[in-house]
């Protein structure tokens, strides 16, 4: 496979990816890269955001060269069409994260009612803290009673009756003042998404600026609402992460074990699968079938959830999800929702791998649907693990190819864990920033996209940042890329600049901290708010930035917009479909600075993105009166 894999160096920087792409080619298995080629050239109107199909007078398009039509049938021009399309991307992303949060709140309520065997409250102390924020009186009440009242209060967040979301109380006052002045304080989680869909219906909001403002509010209802609920309730139910060591890349699959993989985003199913793989009778069954045991691994953000909390090994990120099946070593993949390519079932058909969909809202071609609910989760998880074990006999050993050895990685850096590592307060971090040992911090987040060389954007940007004494916190598929590159072990401080090396070395932590899955980007917001409050400044004054070098999903758009709305400059590696409107582009990349104190930038080259970010960080340092350098 070695020679054949050379040509795939253009597709991915990862050895396992290159080798598996070569195997896929040899076995004539189609991947996302092949399908991208088949799509080229992609529609230019859509790329620019200039096509609209919001009603049946259309579909319409606006000619970017000024020669063809300049307005849709209804009269919408380029600015309106681009802003409406962008707004709908935000709404879809916010809806995905927030509905994920709602599912967790429902499990919390079921636990409280005793209807979720196998689930429990793993972090009652955190639950009490969050309950207090929601005004739940915890005195004299037992854990389940508090869980019920907190679940009820959280469900209220989704509706329309409130004037502002509860977690807005975590926002520094100066930031909140800005939101109030602009009228973008998020009210109800579903309300803001629903209002975006209303505004973008034909004949409603036809002012591109007002559409963009609501885009900010909608995204903030995700960041400080739905996603924040998802993260906090996951911690309450499954435990708040603390540092843990594990392994990563396709080498985590084991030739002599039954391999089961969980993929998607919501830990509700995977936590139960994890428990079942440890059941002694099922492990014994695996041994009876000739395997040495049961090996559980993760993909994408469901994998991140298990890695963060339980140190379960991680097989790969978004673009590795098809290739992992091509190893021929996987007995079963269980998916929940989000980022699951509908191609997976077709790839699995070429192997013995069983594909199982588990969510009532996410069904896929060529997958067997076995629906999980809190009441049946424990039993169904056992049933499915048993079936995976039985499937081991169908594996064809000659087709098995596990291409690399795993890499060590450290994970589990929740805000609580970071503060603990710092000795209980953010002061040492603030001190290191003040002296310039750490120049600033950057969240490197987001997906893979076959339009960008796989993992190249994440790894190159992160490498340049840490070399220049900038602490990186990462989530999602970016976090997986950086772990595969070896950045997440304490020894990786050797790759960092002298200041960051000294600080991380003294604390025994890597220079790149894994803070979780996509919804866990809110941990970065919470940390940023804590730093701003400690310094008595706005988040936008801090030497911070965000980056999504290889993003593809609508959720990433919502994240980018709520990060900017929270005051953090953010660089995107792929261009969002807004280039058809210079007004929207100028507002996003310049004008927002006066409005909200932060902007978006687009820079596909991660080397240049690193320079942009370093300049921004030095500018913010100078603004705070801290020593700064020329970049």
Residue 54 found at the interface with ligand SF4 (CB under 6 A):
yes
Q: Which secondary structure element, helix H or strand E, spans residue 617, and what is its range?
A: helix 606-623
**Binding-site partner at residue 60 among ligand SF4, ligand MSK, none, CB < 5 to 8 Å by type:** ligand SF4
Fill in the per-residue mask, 514 to 533: x = in contact with ligand MSK (CB under 6 A), - = not in contact. ---xx---------------
Q: How far is the CB of 615 from ligand SF4 (least distance, A)?
A: 39
Fill in the per-residue mask, 208 to 247: x = in contact with ligand MSK (CB under 6 A), - = not in contact. ----------------------------------------
Residue 454 found at the interface with ligand MSK (CB under 6 A):
no
Q: How far is the CB of 413 from ligand MSK (least distance, A)?
A: 17
Hey, which residues between 328 and 387 contact ligand MSK (CB under 6 A)?
Answer: 339
Beta bridge partners of 332: 260, 354
- CA distance linking residue 97 with residue 519, whole number of Å: 6
Q: Is the peptide bond before 41 cis (omega within 30 degrees of 0)?
A: yes
Q: How far is the CB of 440 from ligand MSK (least distance, A)?
A: 23
Hey, which residues between 315 and 334 contact ligand MSK (CB under 6 A)?
Answer: 317-318
> For residue 250, how far is the Cα from the chain centroid?
20
**Binding-site partner at residue 74 among ligand MSK, ligand SF4, none, CB < 5 to 8 Å by type:** ligand SF4
Answer yes or no: are the C-beta atoms of 249 and 407 closer than 8 Å: yes
Q: How far is the CB of 228 from ligand SF4 (least distance, A)?
A: 34
Residue 52 found at the interface with ligand SF4 (CB under 6 A):
yes
The pair phi, psi for residue 253, each rounded to 5°, is -70, 145
Hey, which residues between 284 and 313 contact ligand MSK (CB under 6 A)?
Answer: 300-301
- CA distance linking residue 72 with residue 59, whole number of Å: 8
The structure tokens listed for 504 are 């991380």
> For residue 225, how far is the Cα from the chain centroid?
15
Q: Is the peptide bond before 59 cis (omega within 30 degrees of 0)?
A: yes
Beta bridge partners of 316: 299
The strands making up 512-516's β-sheet, listed across from edge to edge, are: 512-516, 470-475, 440-444, 544-548, 570-572, 600-602
Residue 53 found at the interface with ligand SF4 (CB under 6 A):
yes
The strands making up 314-316's β-sheet, listed across from edge to edge, are: 368-369, 354-357, 332-335, 258-264, 294-299, 314-316, 244-248, 407-411
Fill in the per-residue mask, 169 to 208: x = in contact with ligand SF4 (CB under 6 A), - = not in contact. ---------------------------------x------
Contacts of 541 (CB under 8 A, 6+ apart): 532, 535, 567, 620, 623, 624
Fill in the per-residue mask, 537 to 566: x = in contact with ligand MSK (CB under 6 A), - = not in contact. ----------------x-xx----------
Residues that bind ligand MSK in the complex, under the rule CB under 6 A: 265, 300-301, 317-318, 339, 446-447, 476-477, 517-518, 553, 555-556
Which positions touch ligand SF4 (CB under 6 A)? 52-55, 57-60, 72-74, 76, 81, 202
């Amino acid at each position: 496979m070695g020679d054949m894999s050379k040509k795939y160096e253009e597709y991915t920087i990862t050895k396992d990816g290159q080798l598996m792409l070569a195997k896929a080619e040899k076995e004539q298995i189609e991947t996302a890269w092949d399908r991208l080629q088949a799509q080229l050239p992609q529609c230019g109107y859509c790329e620019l955001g200039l096509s609209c199909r919001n009603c049946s007078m259309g579909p319409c398009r606006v000619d970017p060269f000024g020669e063809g039509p300049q307005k849709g049938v209804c009269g919408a021009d380029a600015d309106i069409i681009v802003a409406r399309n962008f707004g709908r991307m935000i709404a879809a992303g916010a809806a995905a994260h927030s509905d994920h949060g709602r599912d967790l709140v429902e499990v919390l309520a079921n636990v409280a009612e005793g209807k979720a065997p196998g689930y429990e409250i793993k972090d009652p102390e955190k639950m009490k803290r969050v309950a207090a924020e929601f005004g739940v009186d915890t005195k004299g009440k037992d854990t389940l009673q508090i869980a019920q009242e907190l679940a009820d209060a959280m469900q209220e967040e989704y509706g329309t009756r409130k004037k502002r979301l509860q977690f807005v109380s975590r926002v520094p006052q100066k930031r909140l003042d800005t939101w109030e002045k602009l009228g973008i304080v998020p009210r109800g989680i579903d309300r803001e998404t629903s209002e975006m869909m209303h505004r973008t219906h034909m004949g409603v909001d036809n002012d591109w600026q007002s559409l963009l403002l609501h885009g900010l509010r909608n995204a903030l209802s995700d960041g400080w609402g739905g996603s924040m609920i998802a993260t906090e309730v996951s911690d309450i139910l499954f435990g708040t992460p603390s540092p843990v060591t594990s392994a990563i890349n396709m080498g985590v699959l084991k030739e002599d074990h039954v391999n089961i993989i969980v993929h998607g985003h919501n830990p509700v199913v995977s936590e139960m699968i994890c428990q079942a793989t440890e059941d002694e009778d099922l492990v014994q069954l695996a041994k009876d079938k000739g395997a040495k045991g049961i090996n559980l691994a993760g993909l994408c953000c469901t994998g991140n959830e298990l890695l963060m909390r339980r140190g379960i090994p991680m097989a790969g990120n978004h673009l590795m999800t098809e290739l992992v099946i091509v190893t021929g070593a996987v007995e079963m993949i269980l998916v929940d929702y989000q980022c699951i390519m509908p191609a997976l079932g077709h790839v699995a058909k070429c192997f013995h791998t069983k594909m199982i969909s588990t969510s009532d809202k996410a069904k896929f071609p060529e997958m067997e649907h076995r629906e999980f609910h809190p009441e049946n989760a424990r039993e169904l998880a056992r049933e499915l693990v048993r079936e995976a074990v039985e499937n081991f006999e169908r594996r064809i050993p000659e087709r098995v190819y596990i291409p690399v050895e795993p890499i060590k990685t450290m994970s589990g850096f929740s805000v609580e864990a970071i503060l603990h590592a710092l000795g209980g307060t953010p002061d040492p971090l603030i001190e290191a920033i003040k002296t310039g040992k750490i120049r600033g911090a950057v969240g490197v987040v987001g997906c893979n996209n076959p339009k960008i060389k796989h993992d190249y954007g994440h790894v190159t940007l992160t490498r340049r940042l840490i070399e220049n004494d900038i602490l990186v916190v990462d989530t999602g598929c970016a976090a997986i890329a950086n772990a595969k590159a070896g950045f997440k072990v304490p020894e990786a401080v050797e790759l960092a600049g002298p200041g960051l090396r000294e600080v991380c070395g003294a604390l025994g932590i890597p220079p790149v901290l894994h803070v979780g899955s996509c919804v866990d980007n809110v941990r970065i917001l919470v940390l940023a708010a804590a730093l701003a409050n400690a310094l008595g400044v706005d988040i936008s004054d801090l030497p911070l930035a965000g980056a999504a070098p290889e993003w593809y999903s609508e959720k990433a758009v919502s994240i980018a917009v709520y990060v900017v709305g929270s005051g953090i400059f953010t660089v995107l590696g792929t261009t969002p479909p807004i280039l058809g409107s210079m007004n929207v582009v100028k507002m996003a990349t310049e004008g927002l600075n006066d409005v909200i104190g932060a902007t978006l930038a687009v820079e596909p080259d991660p080397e240049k993105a690193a320079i942009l970010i370093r300049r921004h960080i030095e500018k913010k340092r100078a603004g705070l009166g801290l020593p700064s350098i020329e970049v």
